[in-house]
Structure 1
Amino acid sequence: MNPIQIGVCGWGDHDLYPPGTASKDKLSVYAGHFPVVEVDSSYHAIQPRDRMARWAMETPDGFRFVVKAYRELTGHGRREGAPERTGKELFRLFAESVEPMAEAGKLTAVLFQFPPWFDCKKENVRYIRRCRREIPDFPVAVEFRNQTWFSSRFRDQTLQFLEDEQLIHTVCDEPQAGIGSVPIIPEVTHSGQVLIRFHGRNRDGWNASGRTDAAWRDVRYAYRYSQQELDEWVPRIRRMKEEADQVTLLFNNNSQGDAVDSARRMADLLGVSFQGLAPLQLGMF
């Protein structure tokens, strides 16, 4: 497996596929370009176990997945029409869903991305501990979107807490747009893994500001990283690689199709050549 993994968030909407590629075939094509992907559909609904097993089987041995935790488990609320279930049941069902990927050795981490209103207080610290306790067999990454976790008062305590609980710190590159965003904190809290997510720096689009959900999603991650902005990350990534066995980079700046380009440019900057990718289809040429 590549010691530095680079990929994008989701595989359905990127400019990678020959015309006419069926949705069911896109993951296999994607795996010919990148060695890791973030599963976003697991946030919207707990995926069927057999589907997760199929995704694991359709990818090469060295391919890896970061699976987003289901939205009710991260405080984003129950989606319309979803069945009402207890927290205990949700954790159980989610763990059963992810298990095939873990058994195949292809699970980099389960990502708990907490919402902007999930601030630094004892109640939320206890809940993160519960998340770790409920799925003890999976690597767990935590992403904050509330600045209080990294305020001068709590920054060191937050990082120490993650380390003590054996939680993977998710380092974020995102707009500095008020309380619902976090600064770049390039620190490792787990010797096995660090996760870095690039959301772009679209400050004006980061917060909803009266937009509909659909319109907000379209603009929030619309951003093309400059060469200078990517260059800034090279020494950070190399330093973190000295402290963690694996560094995983995921680009989420795809509202206007920029994630793939950003990921490829970052790979070039780091001198990363991916090994063990799926064979590219001849139609790609």
Structure 2
Amino acid sequence: MIYIGLTGWGDHDDLYTAGIKSGEKLKEYAGHFPIVEVDSSFYAIQPIKNSEKWVTDTPGSFQFIIKAYQGMTLHLRGEIPFETREKMFRAFRESLKPYLNHSKLATVLFQFPPWFECKKENVEYLRWCREQMADLPVSLEFRHQSWFTSKYKERTLAFMESENWIHSICDEPQAGAGSVPTVIHPTTGDKTIVRFHGRNIHGWNRPNEGNWREVRYLYNYNEHELLQWVNHLNELKKKTDHIYVLFNNNSGGDAANNAKHLMELLKVDYDDLAPRQLNLF
């Protein structure tokens, strides 16, 4: 089954009725898509009350992709706000209980920074992370090209398979070492992630110019590009049971429209979405 959704639910204004409160947006979002990526968990381990509200605001079959906390993925280069890394991972695992209790956790997404290169100590850290997460479903997204060079690509994929890391496949511009190619290769038979970051090659490597996020993810996929992905996704369906597709190209408000367009091209329909708000005119 292919599930299509967006990264976060707060910024997609075209989906919502006018004047909606931020705390009600997820309920309406769940009338459009069956999955969502929780980005707030990257910036801070979320309190239980947040995740309890989110799981109750969504239908029974709705699934969450929870982004791993930035201290876990080495984005925090200085001290972490925990006594030990083990305690940090333990706190994060505790925050997942509402999703697990409601069978709504698709995966925890570990997205590593562009400076996380393919080298021995980083491979060992990935192995340690996998141990810390025990039997929870975890997915892995690289942002440094070295993992998929001709020298290391097959070994990277074999490592992910042996360690039971779900592959998070990227669609993004090819803009040097800080980007990765699209590698259509599932590493588990159960789940695969696909994340659309856009193809704005001119804005990809400008982290110090104003609000770089608004530039990096400014992209609107055309139908030809989405049709290419229809073929890729149909191939992935032969090798993996559940495919979670997430659009992250929302700098210009394009993510929701691109996601719905892909749903039309794939002819997918979801039975257990939340009731939609009715527009009178």
TM range (shorter): over 0.9
Who is 1:221 aligned against?
A: 217
Instruction: Give the superposition deviation at 1:60.
Output: 0.3
Residues of 2 paired with 1:105 and 1:79: CA distance?
Answer: 35
Residues of 2 paired with 1:117 and 1:145: CA distance?
Answer: 8
Match for residue 165 of structure 1 among 163, 166, 175: 163
Residues of 1 paired with 2:90 and 2:77: CA distance?
Answer: 16
Q: Residues 1-285 of structure 1 correspond to what in structure 2 (within 5 A)?
A: 3-14=1-12, 15-77=14-76, 83-208=81-206, 210-212=208-210, 215-283=211-279
TM-score (norm: length of structure 2):
0.96
Whichever residue aligns with residue 54 of structure 1, its letter is: K
Instruction: Give the superposition deviation at 1:138.
Output: 1.3
8 Å CA contact retained: 1:71, 1:78 = no
Question: 1:227-256, CA deviations, whole angstroms, 9 ceiling, x for partnerless residues?
Answer: 111111111101111111101100000001
Q: Against the structure 1 CA distance between its residues 79 and 96, is the aligned structure 2 distance closer, same or farther, given a 3 Å change threshold?
A: farther
Instruction: Give the superposition deviation at 1:282.
Output: 2.2
8 Å CA contact retained: 1:44, 1:79 = no
SS of structure 1 residue aligned to 2:6: strand
SS of structure 2 residue aligned to 1:282: coil
Residues of 2 paired with 1:261 and 1:46: CA distance?
Answer: 30
Question: 1:42-84, CA deviations, whole angstroms, 9 ceiling, x for partnerless residues?
Answer: 001000012112211110011000000000100110799x834
Whichever residue aligns with residue 108 of structure 2, its letter is: V
8 Å CA contact retained: 1:28, 1:278 = yes
Instruction: Give the superposition deviation at 1:284.
Output: 7.7
Instruction: Give the superposition deviation at 1:199.
Output: 0.2
8 Å CA contact retained: 2:191, 2:240 = yes
User: Size of the alignment, in residue pairs?
Assistant: 280
8 Å CA contact retained: 1:197, 1:252 = yes
Larger mean CA deviation between 45-54 and 151-160 belongs to 45-54
Residues of 1 paired with 2:36 and 2:169: CA distance?
Answer: 17
Instruction: Give the superposition deviation at 1:125.
Output: 0.7
8 Å CA contact retained: 2:82, 2:88 = no
Runs of 4+ in 1 over 6 A off after TM superposition: none
Residues of 1 paired with 2:124 and 2:78: CA distance?
Answer: 24
Instruction: Give the superposition deviation at 1:137.
Output: 2.9
Residues of 2 paired with 1:128 and 1:275: CA distance?
Answer: 37
SS of structure 1 residue aligned to 2:72: helix
8 Å CA contact retained: 1:102, 1:138 = no
Question: 1:122-178, CA deviations, whole angstroms, 9 ceiling, x for partnerless residues?
Answer: 111111111111011310000000000000000000001000011100100001010
Residues of 1 paired with 2:130 and 2:268: CA distance?
Answer: 32
Instruction: Give the superposition deviation at 1:210.
Output: 3.0
Gaps of 5+ in 1: none
Q: Between the two proteins, what is the percent identity of the paired residues?
A: 51
